[in-house]
Amino acid sequence: MAKWGMVIDLEKCTGCQACSTACQMENSRLPGENYQDVLYYTEGRQPTPQLKWFPRPCMHCEEPSCMHVCPTKATYKTEDGVVLIDWDKCIGCKYCMIACPYGVRFYTDEKALIEPNIKQVFKGDGDLSWNPPYKGPQQDPKHGVGIQPNGVVSKCNFCYHKISKAPKGTADLDESNPELVEYVPACVRTCAPKARYFGDLDNPNSQVSRLISDKQGTRLLDHTGNKPQVYYLTGGGAAAAAVPGTRANKKA
């Protein structure tokens, strides 16, 4: 069984947000509630401030605190290493949102993050939070896939509706391989500068494993002990990209 993971090369990432847009369309997300977000921030002061950006999906941790705190086991980890939410079990207590160190979870039944509130324009059927004009994958509440229902928490699912159908034994889900492209997560598939890689972390011959090994992949907020399965490549040298919060560990 694979242990799916992602590598993001910060030296290649241009901050174009195509990943966010693709994710939003694929997963029927509301504006502002992106499973995959690109965070912008400034470093330094005048006269030499720098605009920086940081792409941030769910880290699908090896030791996910969100899973451990969930009183109903609605948040769970699959055998192939993906952290998912069973919307049919979620009671909306939001303890997982409290316990996630990365702020990647969304409770949609609240004020819209971006106005105007598009939920009022495309009103949801039944329990669904809204009815987007474009439709993503089929509704699969057991795996937290589809349009988010009211009263539950949601998060990035590594496009589980895609990756779970990949042929067994696949080392890397490479968007340049025509036979595998339909199984590649939307953010990886759409990344124009090819800054994202997705594959089996347990396979030493996978490209993700080799990149992590060769380029000293680092993990976000590693001190929390959550052990993310998303790794960042920062390169080296003075102008290298940085992983916020783990800058002290960056290769000199």
Query: What is the contact surface with other proteins in residues (CB under 8 A)?
Result: 32-33, 39, 41, 43, 56, 65, 68-74, 89-95, 97-103, 105-113, 150-153, 220-221, 224-225, 244-245
Pairwise CA distance, residues 200 & 136, whole Å: 25
Determine contact, residues 87/36, Cβ cutoff 8 Å: no
Determine contact, residues 64/83, Cβ cutoff 8 Å: yes
Minimal distance in Å, beta carbon 110 to other proteins? 5
The DSSP output letter for 118 is: G
Distance of CA 248 to the CA centre of its chain: 24
Minimal distance in Å, beta carbon 116 to other proteins? 13
Minimal distance in Å, beta carbon 104 to other proteins? 8
Q: For residues 2 and 241, which CB has a smaller minimum distance to other proteins in the complex?
A: 241
Kind of pairing, strands 4-9 and 75-77? unpaired
Minimal distance in Å, beta carbon 220 to other proteins? 8
Minimal distance in Å, beta carbon 177 to other proteins? 33
DSSP E strands in 81-183: the ranges are: 83-85, 106-107, 153-154
Q: For residues 56 and 162, which CB has a smaller minimum distance to other proteins in the complex?
A: 56
Minimal distance in Å, beta carbon 204 to other proteins? 30
Determine contact, residues 76/68, Cβ cutoff 8 Å: no
Pairwise CA distance, residues 149 & 141, whole Å: 9
Structure tokens of 153? Answer: 């928490």
Q: In the beta sheet, which residues pair with residue 41?
A: 52
Pairwise CA distance, residues 171 & 146, whole Å: 26
* Nearest alpha-carbon partner for 85 in 33, 137, 158: 158
Q: For residues 66 and 163, which CB has a smaller minimum distance to other proteins in the complex?
A: 66
